[in-house]
Structure 1
Amino acid sequence: MTATQTGPADELVGSTVPIDGAASPSVWNRVWPPLIAVVIAVGLWWLATTVLAAPTSLLHQTAPQKALPAIGELLSRGVLLSDTGYSLYRLLVGLLVAAVIGVPAGLLIGLNTTVERAATPLVQFLRMISPLSWTPIALAVFGIGNQPVIFLIAAAAVWPILLNTVAGVHAIEPGFLHVARSFHATRTEVLTAVVLPAIRGHIQTGLRLALGIAWVVLVPAEMLGVRSGLGYQILNARDQLAYDQVVAVVLVIGVVGYLLDLIARLALGGRAGRAQA
């Protein structure tokens, strides 16, 4: 009687691991690594601000046992939710302005080689300028209020949208364009039937990158000439020497930014998957 030898293929058949990749982790296996990382981070935060800090140091006011209750205090006063709402409004309007400018400009640059050669040096020059450098000009032109903040957000967010749109146009298979032209499609038909569906994923990537950049720029922009928003709330708490509230607002900024990126990843990723299907 001949013994049966077990090969790698037989082991795969008898195992629960899918052939095309590793088994999907359970919910607990997905949760415990970030949970432990958060616990360690909070522990290091407590150690630095409570144990290692000098007795007279202001770091004691930024300890987690003081900053976390300060979030509840700000919520009870009603300022945190309203300031978050103001910040999200400015963020969304700034992103909309950036998309309205960035997508058409990216299409024009990507579809026309002459325009691309002419615009590339100017685009590379402007995108390397910090958006906050435009603050004095924005305040002089728009005055104090939402407009300069929205301008600074748009100035920061337009470049990833524009550049990803150009990259999407360059990634289109030339054969698709040749087929469309062979059927005597007009420029509008080529744009709507070939180009825009092909670059949808690149535009979505640009929007997600722009969202992260805009959220980072929003906070310092709100420290200039406005009396609402999360950036203003940091300055207000600092002026009152309430550093526990400063850290509380910083934590809220991080949590809201994380949630915004998560929502964008789920929404845009799902659309990209449906588009590819």
Structure 2
Amino acid sequence: MSSLSEHSGAPDGVSGGQVVDALADAGRARRRATRWLLGMAGLAAIVLAWWIGVALASRHSALAAQFGPLAAWRTFPELVSEDRLFTHIGASLRRIGVGLAWAMLFGVPLGFLIGRFKTLETALSPALQLLRMISPLAWMPIAVMSLGVGDPPVYFLLTFAAVWPIVISTAAGVQQIDARWVQLGESLAATRAEMLWHIYVPGIAAHVLTGVRLAIGILWIVLVPAEMLGVNSGLGFLILDCRDRLAYAELMAVVLVIGALGFLLDTAARVVYQRFGTVRERE
């Protein structure tokens, strides 16, 4: 009987499985390249539409030219050379990290309890749904009056914005854990700590990471208006500063930075989920 490598035309010493793996890898590489090219084409189309729109508007107003992509690009060297941009980026990322940490500190335990105890879910669900539907920005005056100006009200608004997707995702993860695993742990006389670490944590890890990724997107949206609450650093503050100085080209450059950083944060969260969340799901 002839071997698979002979039928497939594979070189001597190369198995049919290796050929299949190589073809699969090539197919995945082509798909990744296609997705990348389509993504770049979409970005190019948006930039082109932006440039055409500004060019048409600048015929009637010379001020409109400052909002174009070329004007924004020319301001980047100045922003970078003065170290202003990286200082404000660092301040914004620090606030994102603190807000996300507080949201996880409150959201994961609360979501676990809601998912674990049906009575608690029934009692808290209406109140949580009501609070979740209130825009975090609606709390801005109360946050300033209660916490003053500076970082504390910003941390409060970011935490309030990010906690809900984490609570909901964690509760959903607890409720979807296979009851047979819980029964197995109880039948083996596992302690509460062992049940938590070996059954619940692996069971909800993917859901928690999903909630974190959603929370990061919400945090990045709320961050810019939150940084207009009397702070003297951050990308939101830089937007106001550019507006007050009538530096509209710099303003558009900062807008581009905000979009790029948000994209990178979401990409990082997606990579972490694919690295750890999918592994936990398979386990």
TM-score, scaled relative to structure 2: 0.87
CA distance in 2, matches of 1:114, 1:186: 23
Name the residue aligned to 2:85. 80
Work out whether residues 165 and 214 of structure 2, in 8 Å CA contact, stay in contact via their aligned partners in 1: yes
1:244 alignment partner AA = A
Amino acid in structure 1 at the alignment position of 2:28: S
Residue correspondences, number:
265
**2:250 pairs with 1:258:** no
Contact kept in structure 2, 1:17 and 1:23, CA below 8 Å: no
2:100 counterpart residue number = 95
Return the offset for 1:17: 10
Instruction: Kindly provide the CA deviation profile for residues 26-72 of structure 1, in whole angstroms up to 9, marking residues without a partner as x.
Output: 36434321122222211111100013444325321101110111122
Identity of aligned residues (%): 42
1:259/1:184 Cα in 2 relative to 1: closer, same or farther (>3 Å)?
same
Deviations along 1:78-123, whole A, 9 cap, x unmatched?
A: 1100000000000000000000000000111111111111110111
Matched with 1:42 is 47
Q: 1:16·1:23 contact (CA, 8 Å) conserved in 2? A: no
User: What residue number does 1:166 align with?
Assistant: 171
Runs of 4+ residues deviating >6 angstroms: 15-22
TM-score by length of 1: 0.89
Name which of 9, 27, 38 aligns with 1:23: 27
How far apart, in 2, do the equivalents of 1:178 and 1:18 lie? 43
Aligned with residue 131 of structure 1, among 119, 132, 136: 136
Amino acid of the structure 2 residue aligned with 1:89: R
In structure 2, C-alpha distance between the alignment counterparts of 1:158 and 1:55, rounded to whole Å: 46
- Work out the CA distance in 2 between the residues paired with 1:108 and 1:21: 43
1:29 & 1:176 partners in 2: Cα distance?
A: 42
Aligned match for 1:238, one of 218, 222, 243: 243
Q: Is the 8 A contact 1:157 1:211 kept in 2?
A: yes
| Alpha-carbon distance between aligned partners in 2 of 1:85 and 1:45, rounded to the nearest angstrom | 28
Paired position in structure 1 for 2:4: none
RMSD of the TM alignment (CA)?
A: 2.2
Which string of whole-angstrom CA distances, capped at 9 and with x for unpartnered residues, describes residues 130-171 of structure 1? Answer: 001111111112111111111111000000000000000110
Partners of 2:200 and 2:154 in 1: how far apart?
33
Deviates more, 1:18-27 or 1:200-209: 18-27
